[in-house]
Amino acid sequence: MTAQNPSAQKRALLSVSDKSGITDFARALHEGGWELVSTGGTLQVLLDAGLPARAVSDLTGFPEMLDGRVKTLHPAVHGGILARREPGHLDQLETHNIGPIDLVCVNLYPFRETVARGAPDPEVIENIDIGGPAMIRSAAKNHADVLILVDPADYPLALQPEVAVQDRRRLAAKAYAHTSHYDAAITAYLSAETDAPQPELLSQITLELHRAHEVRYGENPHQSGAVYRWGEARGPVLDAQVLSGKPMSFNNYADADAAWALCRELAQTQAGAVACVAVKHANPCGVALGESVTQAWTQARDADTLSVFGGVVAVSHPVDLEAAQSFHGTFLEVLIAPQVSAEAVAWFAAKKPDLRVLQAAAAPVTGLDVRPLVGGFAVQERDTRQWDDLCPEVVTAAQPSEQEWRDLRFAWVTAKFARSNAIVLARGGVTVGIGAGAVSRIWAAERAVANAAENAQGAVMASEAFFPFDDVVRLAAQAGVRAVVQPGGAKRDPEVIAAADELGLSMVMTGSRHFRH
């Protein structure tokens, strides 16, 4: 074989795992005068379609080896891809009897899909593609002379008489993103330490992000925004089904995620109860436990009727028509539930057409908690510690009653999901006052007590972090609070405990802080 110059018949190398549209694309190339070269399963598909495709082994002079691990790793392939279309490189191709390759159409072994279906490790390892990424990267490097295609959606572009320089460059960038995401998935799989309860964070983390949802704008109209999926991860809100209402906004996604996280943990820690969480600006404003969705929602709404206006609500149990009708009269942005009946969806569509009604996806809480910084990210494990993981200790002479224990547990979970500094007052499985996002703990307590007003009488108080002074305890007692739960660990713990004993409050220390900034 002699090297071909740019005016001779063009050659396309096709080797795809995703065979969507490959036969029609290859036929169009053939009819346009292209020579087709292929490998493995793709070659067989083309031959079965009656297309005159050649095997890569015809170019390399070597058969596929090592159960298909080695097919295209050869100078006859990569030389043909990487050669610049200029005399020096073309002369070298001719010296070694290598023909140029002008189009590379490759997508990679289904590694993510193999992992997702729980395949055994040897099968997963075999689905780490080697030759495919090498060809993609070679073609993308030489994109000025070689078209690189990794997405069937781009096949029509390659059939145009001329492909513009900017389109070639865009395809090359897309190709490198393709291999980058693929490598990130492999890295994540090989780095997983499933036996370690608290795996050490890696020295390097690749954020493999794919746009999952478009939104009109970000937090404000002057900011662009979108919602992205991290690798192949799923999320209860990210993958929720929008059953009715307007499209989701950037803020809707953030608030719904916050509401559902608290709602789900309450349902897990309060067996048998229906949980309802109303959120405003990522903070809970009304939280309640009830025997039905209607009861839980009504109590959560009445806990703070002012703040719940325009809020996002999550409920832990299915919403039927009767429950749906209980939402009449309150303006909400989003309602998310594990299931919504067809009758309820129809009622919402007719009576509250702007309300976004979501059915949460079944997805575990996994992955890392990533916070953006200018120029980087702060990364941590998620705070998945639950009440049952703690060893609560009563540190006062007074002991909480059985009902107060239930309320302390409920208030503690709610405080864990409120922005720091956070104080939660609760009574009878309902929040009566919440102070969140304050720069001082006493200010958070004052806000919670003010919200509760007379409902603070007989309530319990939860704090997500310790009390640096006894001022919060004295405020609580003055408001009528009877029991307090906090992590403890402050230098003045003895003073705080003494104040509680003096005032007749019971106090529980958990030994576990739960800042949420």
Q: Active-site positions?
A: 141, 281
3-state class of 163 per DSSP?
coil
Q: At CA 175, angle to CA 122 and CA 163, rounded to 5? A: 145
Separation between Cα atoms, residue 388 and residue 385, nearest integer Å: 8
Asked if the bond preceding 283 is cis, omega within 30° of 0, the reply is no
Element (H, E) at 496: helix 493-503
Instruction: Locate 37 and state its tokens.
Output: 């070269």
Residue 287 phi, psi dihedral angles, 5° rounding: -135, 135
Residues in the chain: 517
Q: HSE of 433 in the Cβ direction (CA atoms, 13 Å)?
A: 28
- The strand pair at 147-149 and 393-394 is best described as unpaired
On the 0-12 / 13-18 / 19+ scale of CB atoms within 10 A, 363 is middle
Separation between Cα atoms, residue 425 and residue 460, nearest integer Å: 6
Other CB atoms within 10 A of residue 362 CB:
8
Separation between Cα atoms, residue 340 and residue 444, nearest integer Å: 36
Residue 319 phi, psi dihedral angles, 5° rounding: -105, 120
C-beta separation of 411 from 510 below 8 A: no
3-state class of 16 per DSSP?
strand
DSSP 4: P
On the 0-12 / 13-18 / 19+ scale of CB atoms within 10 A, 424 is buried
Residue 455 phi, psi dihedral angles, 5° rounding: -70, -10
Alpha helix ranges (H) inside 119-164: 121-126, 131-141, 155-158
Residue 360's contacts (CB-CB under 8 Å, 6 or more residues apart) are 236, 237, 240, 260, 314, 336, 337, 338
Residue 440's contacts (CB-CB under 8 Å, 6 or more residues apart) are 421
Instruction: Locate 510 and state its tokens.
Output: 């958990």
Q: HSE of 442 in the Cβ direction (CA atoms, 13 Å)?
A: 8
Separation between Cα atoms, residue 258 and residue 236, nearest integer Å: 11
